[in-house]
Amino acid sequence: MATPLPAPLLAPVRKAVRTIEGRTPAHRDRAIDGLRALALLAVPTGHWLLGGFTLDADGALHNASPLSSFAALAPASWVLQMLGIFFLVGGYASVLSFHRAAGRGESTGRWLRARLARLGRPVLGVTAVWAALIPVLSACGVPEPTLRTGATLVIQPLWFVGVYAGITALTPYCVRAARRMGAWAAAPLLAAVAVVDFLRYGPYADAMPSWLSLLNLLPGWMFAYQLGVSWGEKRLGRRAAWTLLLGGTALFAALLLFFHYPTSMVGVPGQDRTNSHPPSLLILALAAAQSGAAVLLRDRIARLLRRPALWAPVVVVNLCAMTVLCWHQTAMFSAAVPASFAGAVPGLTTAPDTAGWILARLAWLPVFAVALVLIGRVTRRFEAPWTGMTAARRTVAGALAAAFAVFALGLA
């Protein structure tokens, strides 16, 4: 039986829950917020579970993955890879925001600048802070390979922001496509990815250039976003949702069983093919199935989130969305660096190649979560408008961010 919270702690929690419930507008779409929170939390959970470290003879940390040793864990990535849901609800929310802005007489350009600023501020913040921390950590004796490992971890989730920003800029065109074609507006994107996959994996693979896979970046991640726009335009109903769920599931199974796509949704060291970078047709099949399920479960999720105790965490997660995305890898790294000086720490600095590592890593998850909360209390300000920042400070922040990018990409 779970131990109840002590009364001194329970009272503030109850007060916060009541406050959040009281401030929630009656028209708030709780299901969309719930789906966004679920997809968002899957990102740190996946990185924390499927990302490990090894410690070399000089005490430096290097990235490793338990999937290299435990192929049977790959189905876990099917559950944790929820970027399809994230793009789905992103498209849904963007189209509603776009229409509200138009109703206020706001131009498309102004609407887009506001959306991109909300994405860009936290990214600029985390990269600038890291640029300032690198020389400090180096002076404290942290090896350069460890710092490069940490920089790689920070960069990993930030690629998503750039792709998402580019797709957001195409929202007006997605709206037009949804109005003309409904849910079928996403079909050409699926077809484009299928063609690229055929060229890079089919009988002509040896003659294809290495950059060909990059052509999947835009249509691959735009697929679920377009479905979300069609959903927001009320052009994606239950019949289409069932088609997405059943068709996506069937395509997913066929690609695994007959076309030998990698089982893991994330990259595995040593494998020459990956499903996520850039997205393959398997990712779109999963996104289709997830999107269909989300549409079908929307009403049930909304009813469930009418409970204030369930709704309050959803609100908190959504308010800190970019903070979670930008800083969760730093939270894990903040535990791994001190441990590297202590030597082999199970689940943290030991190779992720034993069952004991998996159990130890599960025990570390609450530590990472607490670290993220503590970091977020300081860095949450990066999500708010930088109204008090002078042009000089913005220039310095931009220069630091550029310096970090150069370091993280191995250009210096």
pLDDT at 136: 96
What total of structural domains would you count in the chain?
1
Residue 367: the pLDDT is 97
Q: How far apart are CA 294 and CA 288, in angstroms?
A: 10
Is 149:408 a contact under the CB 8 Å cutoff? Answer: no
Of the candidates 20, 83, 22, the one whose C-alpha atom is nearest the C-alpha of residue 47 is 83
- What's the predicted TM-score (pTM) here? 0.93
Q: Is residue 251 part of a domain?
A: yes
Q: What is the CA radius of gyration of the chain?
A: 22
Q: What does the pLDDT read at residue 26?
A: 86
pLDDT of 277:
82
Could you list the pLDDT tens digit for every one of the 412 residues in the chain?
A: 445 556 566 778 888 888 999 899 988 899 999 999 999 999 999 999 988 999 999 999 999 999 888 888 889 889 989 999 999 999 999 999 999 999 999 999 999 999 999 999 999 999 999 999 999 999 999 999 999 999 999 998 888 888 999 999 999 999 999 999 999 999 999 999 999 999 999 999 999 998 999 999 999 999 999 999 999 999 999 999 999 999 999 999 999 999 999 999 887 777 778 898 889 999 999 999 999 999 999 999 999 999 999 999 999 999 999 999 999 999 999 999 999 999 999 999 999 999 999 999 999 999 999 999 999 999 998 888 877 677 788 888 899 999 998 998 887 6
The per-residue pLDDT for 364 is 97
Question: How far is residue 392 from each of residues 123, 132, 203, 264, 397, measured CA to CA in Å?
Answer: 18, 16, 55, 45, 9
pLDDT at 212: 94
Q: What is the extent of the structural domain holding 278?
A: 30-408
Listed residue (343, 230, 349, 265) closest to 76, CA to CA: 265
Residue 116 confidence (pLDDT): 92
Single-letter code of the amino acid located at 46:
G
Read off φ and ψ for residue 45, nearest 5 degrees.
Answer: -60, -45
Token representation of residue 34: 């719930």
Domain assignment present for residue 218? The answer is yes
Contact between 184 and 247 under an 8 Å Cβ cutoff? The reply is: no
In a domain, 9, yes or no: no
- Is residue 11 domain-resident? no
**Residue-level pLDDT at 5:** 55
16 within domain boundaries: no
What's the rounded Cα separation, in Å, for the pair 227 and 391?
39
Q: What is the DSSP string of 229-259?
A: HHHHTT---HHHHHHHHHHHHHHHHHHHHTS
Distance of alpha carbon 223 from its chain centroid, rounded?
Answer: 16
Q: Domain for residue 144, yes or no?
A: yes
Tell me, yes or no, whether 233 lies in a domain: yes
